Amino acid sequence: MAPQLTKWHFNIDSYLNPWIPRNPSHRLPYLLGRFLGHRHPDRPQHAIGNLVYIFWAFLGVFTSILLILAVNHHVGEFRAHNAPMIVASFGAAAVLEFYSIEAPLAQPRNAILGQVISALVGTIVATIFGGPERLLQSTSDDPTLGFRSLVYRWAGGALACAAATACMALTGTVHPPAGATALMAVVDDRIVELGWWYIPIMLLGCALMLGVALLVNNVQRRFPVYWWSPEETGSAWRKDVKEPEGESHVEMDSAKIEIDPTQDVESSSTDAECEQFILIARGLVEVPNHVHLLPEERNLLEAISLRI
């Protein structure tokens, strides 16, 4: 029977997660680990009101945007290439990283890789469409050149945003503000003139914002909830570790329970029953292989898992 195209599903994490090292923050001194998002299981988080959330979000957004503006102003190469004071998409990114800090879209993997991938895609599309030489002719006295330049920018901007969305979805790095990052690489005059300098500008801004987020968001809250994925990582590096027979291994940080197969259980019937359930634990969502979730459905389940 021919495969149904509507059921095709690709999850890059199933290939990458086994090779991504496990987050080592639990091995660091408590204070350092705390500002990297680690929380000791014996020290539960206390609930806080939304006014506290708003206060820390205000402070974080203000500080991070001010820092990016100041650093960009003092980087000589940026000024030499007439870079803008700040890329506007950082405003939207700041709202995610300082207010919706538990959302999967705000975690470091998405916040950094989503922006950088989109900047790269936007710059590639701008280059394909002729770069500044063609894209900045809309003000030309020649009406033919001006109209052609506008068409290039319309088509290139739409293509850049669409292609960046697809790349982020395939790489598990969806970050909504990054759509604007890709779009501006083609339609914003000053960013088009930057060319490949756009990528280091975005990378530096992301790093500065993440640094502020780690400080501000970990005073009374927790950020990040995870660095790479809410699912288990690094399993390929632990293949040579054997669990004692008849014992179970519980990994508290990932909230995932693995039971040794040598235990006296009716494994076949249990496996069949498990295929009928979706498992949601703290920072973990496990879905049967035959169930394919839309990105927004998985994001909803992951957001619920972070509230447990």
Domain boundaries of the chain, sorted by first residue: 26-216, 229-305
Task: State pLDDT tens for residues 198-209.
Answer: 999 999 999 999
Q: What mean pLDDT is predicted for residues 31-52?
A: 86
Q: Does residue 272 surpass a pLDDT of 70?
A: no
Q: For residue 162, give every residue at least 6 positions away whose Cβ sits within 8 Å of its Cβ, in sequence order, or none.
A: none
Task: State pLDDT tens for residues 195-238.
Answer: 999 999 999 999 999 999 999 999 999 999 999 998 888 888 87
Average pLDDT, the chain: 84
Look at residue 301 in the predicted model and tell me its pLDDT. Answer: 83
Residue 297: pLDDT band with limits 50, 70, 90: confident
Q: Does residue 257 surpass a pLDDT of 60?
A: no
Residue 184: pLDDT band with limits 50, 70, 90: very high
Q: How far apart are the first and last CA of the chain?
A: 42
Task: State pLDDT tens for residues 109-136.
Answer: 999 999 999 999 999 999 999 888 777 7
- φ and ψ at residue 250, rounded to 5 degrees: -115, 125
Look at residue 142 in the predicted model and tell me its pLDDT. Answer: 64
Most confident residue range from 153-162, 267-276, 282-291: 153-162
Residue 83: pLDDT band with limits 50, 70, 90: very high
Look at residue 264 in the predicted model and tell me its pLDDT. Answer: 47
Q: For residue 71, give every residue at least 6 positions away whose Cβ sits within 8 Å of its Cβ, in sequence order, or none.
A: 204, 208
Look at residue 61 in the predicted model and tell me its pLDDT. Answer: 98
Encoding tokens for residue 306?
């972070």
Q: What mean pLDDT is predicted for residues 52-68?
A: 98
Q: 32-36, 43-47, 127-131: which has the minimum mean pLDDT?
A: 43-47
Residue 164: pLDDT band with limits 50, 70, 90: very high
Q: Does residue 296 surpass a pLDDT of 80?
A: no
Q: For residue 255, give every residue at least 6 positions away whose Cβ sits within 8 Å of its Cβ, in sequence order, or none.
A: 281, 282, 283, 284, 308
Residue 16: pLDDT band with limits 50, 70, 90: very high
Percent of the chain with pLDDT over 90: 58
Q: What mean pLDDT is predicted for residues 85-92?
A: 97
Please give the residue that has the higher pLDDT: either 146 or 90: 90
What pTM did the predictor assign? Answer: 0.76
